[in-house]
Structure 1
């Protein structure tokens, strides 16, 4: 086993404290290759045992597709036989304010004998953070989370819970109790909100999570979903985190803000022209690998439907300073905010991305740019979607992949990002993407989006 000998006593202490607080069970959560949270819940009394030896779960979770169909097309997981062990990460355990009978913990998945399992996405990010450390780098990551708020109803009902107008306090009056519960529950669950507001689309809201180390950021992204859904249920509402809930709806991006640091110095610090040399190399690395990165951070058919020019979704491959059409939006520091505020926002990211894989891909691409000392072309401050094809060609700006096949080609043809996942996990990830694409062949775009609307 990879657990230490003092894990059981620690877990016993935690279990006793939870029991004294009236908590009955612990939900252990992870995300699959579609970004869909999965979980197992155990009684509090079982936590010491589970912390040491885990819970048995099927290996096939790695090849569930977005509709819960299982594909056997990946050779490494082509049989219904086999179990692995889901182990709670006790450092991330939180009693849930919105579900008082439960606590929540992120999970890692180990092989049946306790060894690392090659399909465990959390371990991929942990390894990438270690690789950053070997290069003398650390990273901070924060999320902007967009989602739609709707009235409860049947699976085909899609009734906005607030009428707008966009960014107005008037819009939030219709969901005032929900918003109050979100603010209270996030604080109680240890989630720091930067801001919360009505977004552009009907019924759409956005909140930002304060930056943290990458693994914690991915854990908190999953916890944020659990917290939001519990608050919605308590108020007779339901939420859609889908990249595009319907063709006429606004898309939901889950934007990744990252900064990279060396010796306590933010390498992205700079000015309105851009960061210094190493920070520019980090952005250049992201831009170089963006088609492959987007295949991880915006991987589903819903993601591809969201990537529309003119919708602030980042449909073209370029970078800009505070340019909201850019998939890579550089946010400079300032005298008012401080230079360490600087970061780069990836807009081609959504809830259908596994958060651990998404952050691993982002950090690997950026770190490779620093290692290779890449230079960065001048920023683009306009909307390339308004240009002619000739103008875009002159500026070497192309659309990001628009189909599953194009995304797969971009990912497998990249010399860096597949190595981050490893052959086994890459194979399972691609099998799931192909399964989604095959299932959609005889369905309308509206039907495909409707099938994803409540999944995340």
Structure 2
């Protein structure tokens, strides 16, 4: 019995036994934030569970502050923003560790015609996984998510700056202990550590089938914020919340498998043919996929020359300075790490874009460039990332042109809002000198 079948049976048993009184039906908005409905168990088992729970489709076309963008293809202003439907995936059921008697299922989104919503983040990832399946591969992935724990007023919780410090980690108890304790029944946390910034934490998730890995990362962000709130604290996945301190990343580790055999197993001490094609696809399409791992204006303030956030489309071995890191270990553990995504990325879209580039690499028979050759610069701003995403026709064909269009529209609205503001930095710098 698979883990997904086991979860399905657990939900059915919990409903039959009456041990769960409420179900959260959850889905990700374009920025990876948890949306949903809290449904009484008796209602969850009714007809709505089959056809899905209705909500306004405009919420799949809004920007970071909830402004619906009429240029988006999903979200129909002319039709009065009709219902979309959240269809629960019962195999994703998990009990909520902070609310006894309540559980959560993740939903797939269908439009008012009953078709999969083509720009919904989970649907985009499913599309890419189907593409890989057509090539004979399944994908597995794990994400490492970084975030800051702050006081309720947004100020740093700690003063120390020391990655891997157990002393600073202990200062974050009891909350940090909840992440590695009760939370592990909700998401498979493998470990927690302090990062460079004051109160900055990294949580490592287990390597899973790719869709489950994205579900795990989506849930982790939700859970961390909720557990912090219950402690009177603020958890933020903002990519660069403080000048002079480390940004927060969402590194993606991924591997491909064929008929249960690891396709990235080293061959004669070097990358396998499949791994080389995957690296070639990632490096070639890094500019176009950057938007999906860095969706906000702030995301790009994390990219700093000389830091651990890469600024060029390069690759290498066990080297944390490059964008694509090839890790040759045992056959099952050999993998590729993509280091460009920021913590504020939607995990479904970031993983879909990465695996979409991998699929292109396999289909086009690409090879990695010579690591000694000059590497292309990655987009330095959100505007540059929008332009690169719109220009990458090959990647858009795999992800879905509608999805690329909509997420470029949302990002463009963020850039327009940012560039139209007069900031304190500008008045301090220019008011008396212009």
Comparing 324-333 with 162-171, greater Cα deviation is found at 162-171
Counterpart of 2:347? Answer: 355
RMSD after superposition: 2.4
Query: Is 1:24 aligned to residue 21 of structure 2?
Result: yes
Any conservation in 1 of the 2:61–2:406 contact (CA below 8 Å)? yes
Counterpart of 1:415? Answer: 393
Q: Which runs of 5+ in 2 are unaligned?
A: 1-7, 426-434
Q: Which runs of 5+ in 1 are unaligned?
A: 1-7, 381-394, 448-456
Query: Is 1:253 aligned to residue 249 of structure 2?
Result: yes
Counterpart of 1:397? Answer: 375
Alpha-carbon distance in structure 2 between the residues aligned to 1:360 and 1:35: 13
Comparing 420-429 with 286-295, greater Cα deviation is found at 420-429
Shift of the 43–416 alpha-carbon distance from structure 1 to 2, 3 Å rule, reads same
Residues 248-287 of structure 1 show CA distances to partners (whole Å, capped at 9, x for unaligned) of: 3311101110011223332323289741222111111111
Residues 194-230 of structure 1 show CA distances to partners (whole Å, capped at 9, x for unaligned) of: 2211111111111110111111011111111222223
| TM-score under structure 1 length normalisation | 0.85
Shift of 1:41: 1.5
Query: Is 1:239 aligned to residue 235 of structure 2?
Result: yes
Counterpart of 1:54? Answer: 52
Alpha-carbon distance in structure 2 between the residues aligned to 1:321 and 1:34: 31
Residues 157-193 of structure 1 show CA distances to partners (whole Å, capped at 9, x for unaligned) of: 323246343211110121121111111222222x222
Query: Is 1:68 aligned to residue 70 of structure 2?
Result: no
Alpha-carbon distance in structure 2 between the residues aligned to 1:196 and 1:75: 40
Determine helix, strand or coil for the equivalent of 1:35: coil
Shift of the 62–269 alpha-carbon distance from structure 1 to 2, 3 Å rule, reads same
Counterpart of 2:432? Answer: none
Determine helix, strand or coil for the equivalent of 1:91: strand
Query: Is 1:308 aligned to residue 304 of structure 2?
Result: yes
Shift of 1:84: 0.9
Shift of 1:81: 2.7
Residues 19-65 of structure 1 show CA distances to partners (whole Å, capped at 9, x for unaligned) of: 32xx4322222222223222221112111233212211111112210
Alpha-carbon distance in structure 2 between the residues aligned to 1:329 and 1:111: 38
Shift of the 372–43 alpha-carbon distance from structure 1 to 2, 3 Å rule, reads same
Query: Is 1:218 aligned to residue 210 of structure 2?
Result: no
| TM-score under structure 2 length normalisation | 0.89
Alpha-carbon distance in structure 2 between the residues aligned to 1:112 and 1:432: 22
Alpha-carbon distance in structure 2 between the residues aligned to 1:82 and 1:141: 35
Counterpart of 2:179? Answer: 182
Residues 414-441 of structure 1 show CA distances to partners (whole Å, capped at 9, x for unaligned) of: 1222123323333221211111111111
Alpha-carbon distance in structure 2 between the residues aligned to 1:165 and 1:130: 42
Shift of 1:90: 1.0
Count residues with an aligned counterpart.
415
